[in-house]
Chain A
Amino acid sequence: MNDAPITLPSSPGWPGDGVHRVPYWVYTDPDTYRRELERFYYAGHWCYIGLEAEIPHPGDFRRSVVGERSVIMVRTQDGGVRVLENVCAHRGAQFCRERQGNRKEFVCPYHQWAYDLEGKLRGIPYRRGIRQDGQLNGGMPADFQMEGRGLTSLKVAVRGGVVFASFDHSLESFEDYLGPTILSYFDRVFDGRKLKILGYNRQRIPGNWKLMQENIKDPYHPGLLHSWFVTFGLWRADSKTSLKMDPHKRHAAMIGVRSVGKPAGDVVSGVTSYKADMSLRDPRQLDIVPEEWWKGPTAVMLTLFPSLIIQQQVNSLSMRHIQPRGPGVFDFVWTHFAFEDDSDEMIQRRLLQANLFGPSGYVSADDGEVIEFSQMGFQEKPDQQCLLEMGGHDSEEATNIASETLIRGMYQYWRRVMGV
């Protein structure tokens, strides 16, 4: 007989006081994931919806998601932008099935309840009943009000042609949400120029959604995992780097200046992904032309918590939308764009440099792969911990690539909001 007391599995707890250890269960625990959706995606945070250029004309709409919830971004008759939840007020049907289109109104196919572009309920068939033998039978009760029975309408922020929304109408302004530093890097790209949509890529990554935020808050990996970055100097140890955050440390900017020329020995010693002899047979894929609006940095990668990554890496630009689908999987939707006043040559350049990015890209396909491998490790032993000590234990801003400070900053915020 074993006299040892029976211990029940403890509820997941955080190891110690800091953020230099992150337990695996934050990526696997279903209850944690549900709470993340409630606290990060459905309240208190602006989520990415799309670009205004996707819905230029009144009646144009395009579907998007907030967390796991389907929403519709629509251009109203007065030229404004609305974001409506894609759930009929009657029986909850997710009525809009097209990806995009143009409508005068939205009609649910189930019982043909009709909504205007503002989401207001405009029509209910047989509302007043059906006339039979000279009498009106059935129908909605006489005191039924159409007012206030429309589609759930989200709070919307549009800045520089980018649309964000939230189910939380008490949310602070988008500008306050980003804070001045991150906002300045947002405005660097979206300074009022009209955007031109180049197209989409979609991938389903079998990993927790936070891993994609962390990937773009991690300047340590690009010069190791991605040969193109280290060999061509796009992002490596000798690149001038700065790592910035908003006051809450939820958003971040990784700012880099491309290294030109061969790296010094200690930059690449032991780095197997560095290929000294590598050259491109067709260099047009890296025909980099500096643009005035860069104002110095050749790359700025913005992580806007929780749902968006904004990529400017040399001449390639994209919005990367994180769409969680459970603790262990998320969809990653890329919208590449250019500016309306770009020359044809610049658009071709952006398109060719897009070969670096997306689900097959030279510096992106392997990010999805390693995220999948991390998730595999997490699922096997949820009580184990990630070790995040590059650059110390704190989460101050930094100016070198050997630092995980941005990830630690994010977990400082995460712990506060999640209460763990």
Chain B
Amino acid sequence: MNQALEPLVYTELLQLYAEYTAAVDAGNWDRWPEFFTEHCVYKLQPRENHERELPLATLHFHSKGMLQDRVYGIRETLFHDPYYQRHVVSLPRVLAVDRGRWFLEANYAVFRTKLGEISTVFNVGRYLDEVVRVDGALKFASRFCIYDSEMIPNAIIYPI
């Protein structure tokens, strides 16, 4: 069912997007799982798999707990060359509104800057999102990051 989108809700959705982007660009990893519901799905997936309905994802998390495990991994277990990431995210396009669930997509480009290096295009794609309201606040019930980039420049450690 497709219902009208209230302008105030769109403003709230924009705020959700802006805060998410600010958190992952600032390396504020503890905030990242808080944008999601308890039983969320987060996927970082190559476009080929998505379009051919192949289920494998580069990252595939099925709960907020798994996102928290990832945060622990980034901090404590995944040895990596540190880098800055900077997202540029388009205005979200509303695909559907259905009884308190908002379905949206937005383009993103992530730039990576390693210490002493030039900034490069790191990962480019789109978000496919489902947003719900939990205790008054908007949260991602699912966020799929479907990336065009055919090659990952070595590794993606931080959340897109």
Contacts and interface: CB of A to CB of B under 8 A. Distances in A.
Contacts of A281: 63, 65-66, 68-69
Interface string B69-97: 10011001111110000000000000000
Given A200-B46, A366-B80, 12 more contacts: A200-B49, A202-B152, A203-B152, A282-B65, A284-B66, A285-B66, A352-B62, A355-B59, A360-B152, A365-B80, A366-B155, A368-B155
A331 B151 CA distance: 8
B60 A351 contact: yes
Interface stretch (B10-18, B21-29, B50-58, B128-136): B50-58
B2 interface: no
Interface in A315-345: 331, 336
A360 B49 contact: no
B57 A369 contact: no
Contacts of A197: 54
B69 to A, nearest CB: 5
A372 B157 contact: no
A68 B66 CA distance: 38
Contact of A199 (B54, B69, B153): B54
A354 B56 contact: yes
Interface centre among B68, B155, B156 (most CB of A within 10 A): B155
| CB-CB nearest 4 A-B residue pairs | A199-B56, A227-B77, A282-B65, A281-B65
B58 A201 contact: yes
Contact of B78 (A204, A231, A352, A365): A365
A225 B62 CA distance: 26
B141 interface: no
Interface in B120-134: none
A contact face: mostly helix, strand, loop, or mixed? mixed
B44 interface: yes
A365 B57 contact: no
A197 B53 CA distance: 11
The bracket for how many chain B residues form the interface is 35 or more
Contacts of A273: 77, 79
A165 B81 CA distance: 37
A316 to B, nearest CB: 10
Nearest to B73: A362
Nearest to B160: A360
A309 to B, nearest CB: 17
A366 B78 CA distance: 6
Contacts of B48: 99, 199-200
Contacts of A194: none
A263 interface: no
Contact of A365 (B54, B56, B155): B155
Contact of A369 (B44, B63, B81): B81
A202 B81 CA distance: 19
A219 interface: no
Contacts of B55: 198-199, 347, 351
B156 A359 contact: yes
Contacts of B45: 199
A206 interface: yes
Contacts of A360: 44, 58-59, 152, 155-157
A351 B77 CA distance: 21
Contact of A205 (B46, B154, B156): B154
A377 B67 CA distance: 34
B57 A282 contact: no
B122 to A, nearest CB: 12
Contacts of B151: 202-204, 331
A203 B155 contact: yes
A67 interface: no
Contacts of A372: 81, 154
Contacts of A280: 65, 69
A336 B54 CA distance: 10
A336 B155 CA distance: 17
Interface in A264-283: 273, 275, 278, 280-282
B111 interface: no
B79 A366 contact: yes
A281 B69 CA distance: 6
Nearest to A202: B151
A302 to B, nearest CB: 20
A306 interface: no
Contacts of A285: 66, 69
Contact of B153 (A204, A275, A366, A373): A204
A386 interface: no
Nearest to A227: B77
A368 B154 contact: yes
Nearest to A347: B55
A347 B60 CA distance: 13
A228 interface: yes
Contact of A284 (B52, B54, B62): B62
